Amino acid sequence: MTDIAIIGAGPAGLMAAWRAAEAGHNVDVYESADVVGGMSGSFEIRGQRVDFGSHRLHPSTPSHLLQSISDLLGDELQVRERNGRIRLYDRWVAFPLRTTDMIKHLPFRFSFLSALDILQRPFVKKSPQTFDDEVSNRLGKTVATQFYSPYAEKLWGVPGHAIDGEQARRRVSAKSPLAILKRLVKSSTPAGRTFLYPKLGYGQIVEALAQAVEEAGGRIHLNSPVNMIQLQEEGCIVSVGDTHYEAEYVWTTAPLTALTKMIHPKPSQEIINAAEVLRVRGMILTYLVLEQDQFTEFDAHYLPGLETKIARLSEPKNYRDGDDPDGVTVLCAEIPCWVGDELWNSSDEDLGEMVKSDLNHLRLPKINHVETKSRRLPSVYPVFEKETMAERETLLEWSKSLGRLIPFGRQGLLVPDNLHHTLAMGWDAAASLKEEGGFDRAQWDAAISTFKEHVVED
């Protein structure tokens, strides 16, 4: 049996804790918040469960992970048909994209130029150094400039030519026009655009994992922010306030940039400097409470253009067949920003007015708005800026040299992954434990190599 301390009760940490506890190891999870889940959690507004933005469990989730979640949730995990739309050329187009809908709603000029890009693609010199380069080489200049480049700037706060091509390789799943065509064909039928979602909100997944951890003998300590980790030859000491806990291994999902400030002995100045220059984009989630049964029939509206502050607008009750109250619905507006900027410091009232202004600009239906709530997430989108990629690699290499301290998860590995990717990280961390005790570092390093192939799915 191995004594393990896990920092962070998000999906990666909870999956690792569950699997390790089930295997008979001694597991303690330390979470700074008063609830589990992090960005994958849910909470209640006016009697309705809402999420921290728009989330889904994708059907592409590896079968062993999907089976485990299905076993935990049973019939509460629903199969739903996606019904979103995206704003392109000042028009609404179904999302996921569908062939007939695109032909019907997009201008002929877009189709013509996209087709021309495909014909010219074999003759275009490929130099995928930036985000713009990578997308243009894969999908053509028209798709890159009209959709991906403005969306990149909206999400990450810097233009596409200043973002490294690695961001596109991890964030844009389509690798060629043929891949898009295959996806269009698949999405043309209801069966090809399904997703999985719990009856009580996305957070029901992490809540079920937390219950499974405790039933397997693990312990979850809420309101327990870790302020220091002392590295020792035979283990680690985790400090929560003035209380110290010993563990043979510490697995941490804390942001890797913040980890440099928690470790003792202190890392080198080179590592501290690398952590300081890496930027992560934050997000404000603005929730508008409407006294009406429904805003639209769509689950999400994607807004790649820079003419609005909102990047995505979702209506949580449309994601599920649940017991939501009548006469009330909630809209969730996702607004990327930098921590500490003008948007970040805006009041709920000002945020609500800004969202309503965007809705009017988009000519969306009138709303009976009665209340605004907001949540601020300081660390959402890691930014792969070209000028700091060397520092990013320096920090990641350093993270592999920490002995019994193992960083993992989205924040721990500085990646923009989906839920099923972070669940895989937790699963593989637990799978690297040896039955006789100890941690198989070679097996974990091999798992990290596979994580580099993860590509975010919208």
Q: What is the pLDDT of residues 261-290, one digit of tens each?
A: 999 999 999 999 999 999 999 999 999 999
pLDDT band at 183 (very low <50, low <70, confident <90, very high): low
* Type and span of the H or E element at 334: strand 329-337
Mean pLDDT score of the chain, rounded to an integer? 92
The answer to whether residues 279 and 383 touch, using CB atoms and an 8 Å cutoff, is yes
The answer on 311 and 224 residing in a single domain is no
User: How big is the CA angle at 12 (ends 8 and 15), to the nearest 5 degrees?
Assistant: 105
The CATH number that applies at residue 246 is 3.50.50.60
% of the chain residues with pLDDT over 70 = 95
The answer to whether residues 210 and 36 touch, using CB atoms and an 8 Å cutoff, is yes
**31 pLDDT exceeds 90?**
yes
The answer on 149 and 114 residing in a single domain is yes
The answer on 312 and 272 residing in a single domain is no
At 185 the pLDDT is 61
The answer to whether residues 328 and 281 touch, using CB atoms and an 8 Å cutoff, is no
At 111 the pLDDT is 73
Q: Is residue 52 part of a domain?
A: no
**Domain tally for the chain?**
3
At 96 the pLDDT is 83
**Under 8 Å CB-to-CB from 125, ≥6 apart: which residues?**
none
Looking only at the bridges linking them, the beta strands covering 3-7 and 249-252 are: parallel
The answer on 260 and 305 residing in a single domain is no
Which residues are registered as beta bridge partners of 185? none
Which residues span the domain enclosing 345? 280-382
332, 336, 342, 345: CA torsion to nearest 10 = 50
Compute the distance between CA of residue 301 and CA of residue 88 in angstroms, rounded to an integer.
11
Q: Is residue 91 part of a domain?
A: no
**380 pLDDT exceeds 70?**
yes
Structure tokens at 184: 């269009």
**Under 8 Å CB-to-CB from 116, ≥6 apart: which residues?**
142
The CATH number that applies at residue 335 is 3.90.660.20
Phi and psi, residue 154, nearest 5°: -70, -45
Per-residue pLDDT reduced to its tens digit, 362-378: 999 999 999 999 999 99
Per-residue pLDDT reduced to its tens digit, 67-101: 999 999 999 999 999 999 999 989 999 988 777 77
Q: Is residue 231 part of a domain?
A: yes
Q: Taking residues 43-57, report their average pLDDT.
A: 96
pLDDT band at 442 (very low <50, low <70, confident <90, very high): very high
**178 pLDDT exceeds 70?**
no
Q: Is residue 90 part of a domain?
A: no
Phi and psi, residue 64, nearest 5°: -70, -35
**125 pLDDT exceeds 80?**
no
The answer on 258 and 136 residing in a single domain is no
Q: How many CB atoms lie within 10 A of CB 122?
A: 6
The secondary structure of 19-59 as a DSSP string is HHHHTT-EEEEE-SSSSS-GGG-EEEETTEEEESS---B-T
**Domain final residue pick, 187, 214, 232:** 187
Compute the distance between CA of residue 284 and CA of residue 348 in angstroms, rounded to an integer.
10
The answer on 351 and 234 residing in a single domain is no
Q: Taking residues 155-179, report their average pLDDT.
A: 87
Closest CA to 411 of 314, 224, 421: 421
Compute the distance between CA of residue 410 and CA of residue 42 in angstroms, rounded to an integer.
18
Verify cis geometry, omega within 30 degrees of 0, for the bond prior to 96.
yes
**177 pLDDT exceeds 70?**
no
Reported as half-sphere exposure (CB side, CA atoms, 13 A), residue 375 has a value of: 19
Chain-centre distance of CA 279, in angstroms? 16
Per-residue pLDDT reduced to its tens digit, 299-352: 999 999 999 999 999 999 999 998 999 999 999 999 999 999 999 999 999 999
Closest CA to 447 of 419, 413, 405: 413
Q: Taking residues 145-168, report their average pLDDT.
A: 93
Q: Is residue 405 part of a domain?
A: yes
**128 pLDDT exceeds 70?**
no
pLDDT band at 123 (very low <50, low <70, confident <90, very high): low
The answer on 227 and 167 residing in a single domain is no
At 67 the pLDDT is 97
Looking only at the bridges linking them, the beta strands covering 300-302 and 243-247 are: unpaired
84-88 β-sheet, strand order: 91-95, 84-88, 300-302, 312-314, 329-337, 280-290, 369-382
Looking only at the bridges linking them, the beta strands covering 84-88 and 300-302 are: parallel
Q: Taking residues 38-56, report their average pLDDT.
A: 96
At 171 the pLDDT is 87
Structure tokens at 188: 């043309």
Q: Is residue 264 part of a domain?
A: yes
The answer on 208 and 73 residing in a single domain is yes
Per-residue pLDDT reduced to its tens digit, 283-300: 999 999 999 999 999 999
At 104 the pLDDT is 83
